[in-house]
Amino acid sequence: MRAFELAVATDAAHAVALLAEHGPSVKVLAGGTDLLVELKSASHVPRVVVDISRAADLKGIAVTDQGLRIGALVTHTEILRSPLIREMFPALADAAHTIGAVQTRNLATLGGNLVTCVPSMDSGPTLVALDALVTIAGPGGRRQLPLTGFFVGPRKTILKPEELLVEIIIPRENLGKPANFQKFGLRKGQALALVNAAASLWMDWERNVCVAPRIALGAVAPTVIRAPAAEAYLEGRAITPEAMAEAGRIAVGEARPISDFRASVEYRRDLIAVLTRRALANAYARAVVAREGEIK
């Protein structure tokens, strides 16, 4: 690796100050599983790398007034083992478990996965399906926006050079919302998704219809996307196998998959339909189980 200077941030505010001080070419080091790989192969490395991995206020998983707050530095291992997440959002734990291998999950952070912003990221779809918000800290203070607005394109987010992703929040009204994550890769370990998908829904059991369905897709567009037409189709509709299959077919038309060395566009289209249907079916199954728990 080429030489750089390391500036160690003690907390989020310090990190923002260091980013402002060292200018636009500065890089942020969190888990390092993407950045160090990038720096090892780069012909130019930044003069300064800001190490945020010791910033305690960027860690932790907790329920706050706003909802479930996940610090940007929380690792994928911490997510998949968190009792809070396993109880409220097992889909998030499932998604975390599909990322890399044990060694990378122990280092890599949720914030890093979102900021690196590759189209096949496995932590994005479930969070998007749960209407997650992100908090960004900058020199002028903090701002919050929906995660969908955070993604701009492949390896590109809305973050300005002097800004830092601080936390991810699943809003209070979605706590416990039944959700599911599906990934299709070519192996179980260390595989990127050919397509991934997540769904969430509430059930109105009086009318036996689904409410506020969300469908999010990855690796089929420049960023993680929602499938709003498929969602609109399901809104207020009974969740039948036919309805879920139709939602999957509609979702295919909302994506813009490409052919690459991992899969053809035709194959990805088939996967979108199948994974969307499976994600919906599993989210619905979870809603059924939750309701049975309440009835007892």
Partner 1 sequence: MIAVTMKINGETRTASVPPETTLLALLRDQFNLTGSKLGCDVGDCGACTVIVDGKCVNACLILAAQADGRDVLTIEGLATLERLHPVQKAFEDNASLQCGFCGPGVIMSAKALLDENPDPTAQQIRDALAGNLCRCTGYTKMIEAVQDAARILRAERAPASQS
Chain residues that interact with partner 1, rule: CB under 8 A: 1-6, 8, 29, 31-33, 36-37, 39-40, 45, 49, 51, 53, 77, 100-104, 106-107, 188-190
Pick between residue 41 and residue 294 the one whose CB is nearest to partner 1.
Answer: 41
Q: How far is the CB of 53 from partner 1 (least distance, A)?
A: 6
Q: Please state, in angstroms and rounded to a whole number, the distance separating the CA atoms of residues 243 and 21.
A: 54
No. of H helices and E strands in the chain?
12, 14
| Among 225, 79, 57, 34, residue whose Cα is nearest residue 142 | 57
Q: How far is the CB of 22 from partner 1 (least distance, A)?
A: 13
Length of the chain: 296
Pick between residue 37 and residue 152 the one whose CB is nearest to partner 1.
Answer: 37
Q: Please state, in angstroms and rounded to a whole number, the distance separating the CA atoms of residues 239 and 262.
A: 33
Pick between residue 190 and residue 240 the one whose CB is nearest to partner 1.
Answer: 190
Q: How far is the CB of 100 from partner 1 (least distance, A)?
A: 7
Q: What is the DSSP letter of 10?
A: S
Q: How far is the CB of 75 from partner 1 (least distance, A)?
A: 9
Residue carrying the six token digits 């860690």: 59
Pairing verdict, β 151-153 and 156-157: antiparallel
Pick between residue 53 and residue 66 the one whose CB is nearest to partner 1.
Answer: 53
Q: How far is the CB of 23 from partner 1 (least distance, A)?
A: 17
Rounded to 5°, angle at Cα 4 from 52 and 107: 40
Pick between residue 31 and residue 248 the one whose CB is nearest to partner 1.
Answer: 31
